[in-house]
Amino acid sequence: MSSDINNSSKITEKSTAEPIYDSNWCDMPDDIKLECIGKMELCERLSLRCSAKAERSLVDSQKIEFHEGVFLREYEDSSFLFSRNDKVVFWKRTKEINEAFELMKYIKKVGVFEHLKIFSRGVADCERFLADDGLFTAKKMNLVHCDIDSTIAVLRKMKNDVESIEMNGDEITSGKLAEILTISHIQNVPYWHIDCYEETDSLHKVAQMWIDKNSKIDSTFQISVNANGSFAEFLEHFKDRVVSQSDRKVRIHTNNPDRHILLERGLDEVVKIDYEIYRLMVISAEMKESEYDDNCKEWIYKMNPEIRLL
């Protein structure tokens, strides 16, 4: 009996030595609140940030990671879908432009995406969606069926450490391509592609931008082109820089003696397509022609997995 009393006394002493918090959220210190917010899903955070101005500030200070994010804007409807570990953790569809704008603004502030996709047809109020100071944070960006002005606006709202940009959709004119090439995310991104383009000047414009910016080795640009003559256009533009050429490849020197630019054309015998597909790369000047990767299946498939490979 004496032993039971002593044990009970020790338990009581231990429990009273530990901090005790009231069950109300408002009585918790901010550091504990931040720990809790870090474990909340997006829906819970959105509810909490509506409760008070102070809580909104705390919620907005905490990043939230997603494997994939999808924004879809089609005429009057806006849809948001975010996933993690192949599981959808948030989905919302709204016709209210103000609600969509506020959610987009918040996501730009806190969202960290492995892969971010934006689908947009008939974007209304695009300037409002993209005029605030927030920037998208994503390793990979995919712009699908976006009108070209929306595409350019989104690219300007990306943080500069994006690793891959894929553009599939609206026709890009020569003037709009020139505007895209002034954007730092395009100038610095390791990989980007356009599917598809209607004019023949894209390859030499990208290569010239790389020359002017002294772009890094392994920078890669891929494009599918409906128009004929892109290869000849490239050769004509850089005829004074040609190091070597064949019917499928041309190599030119840059202003930097340690790097060249290599243009490759996809093989018609390998891929069943109705248009031409090209890869442009910044390579080491020391690379030998025997080191070229002549198997174009892999890089063509990366351009468009739906392409029919033989």
Give 202-245 pLDDT, tens digit per residue. Answer: 899 999 999 999 999 999 999 988 777 888 999 999 999 999 99
164 φ/ψ sector (left φ>0, alpha ψ -120 to 50, else beta): beta
The overall average pLDDT reported for the chain is 84
Which helix or strand (DSSP H or E) is residue 55 part of? Answer: helix 53-60
How far is the C-alpha of 284 from the C-alpha of 221, rounded, in Å? 16
Give the predicted TM-score (pTM) of the model.
0.83
- Residue 51's contacts (CB-CB under 8 Å, 6 or more residues apart) are none
**Phi (first) and psi of residue 276, to 5 degrees:** -95, 145
Beta strands in the chain (DSSP E): 64-74, 77-84, 87-94, 111-121, 138-144, 164-168, 191-197, 220-225, 242-245, 249-253, 259-265, 271-272, 276-284, 308-309
C-alpha separations of 113 from 48, 81, 116, 150, 264 in Å: 22, 12, 6, 20, 32
List the CATH code of the domain at 63-170.
3.30.420
pLDDT score of 12: 47
- State whether residue 28 is helix, strand or coil: coil
Q: What is the pLDDT of residues 26-85, one digit of tens each?
A: 888 989 999 999 999 999 999 999 888 888 999 999 999 999 999 988 777 889 999 998
CA-wise closest residue to 180 among 167, 164, 199, 161: 167
Q: What is the pLDDT of residues 132-175, one digit of tens each?
A: 677 899 999 999 888 888 888 888 889 888 999 999 866 788 88
pLDDT score of 203: 93
The CATH architecture of the domain made up of 197-310 is: 2-Layer Sandwich (3.30)
- State whether residue 199 is helix, strand or coil: coil
What type of residue sits at position 28? M
C-alpha separations of 142 from 11, 108, 155, 192, 282 in Å: 58, 16, 10, 10, 22
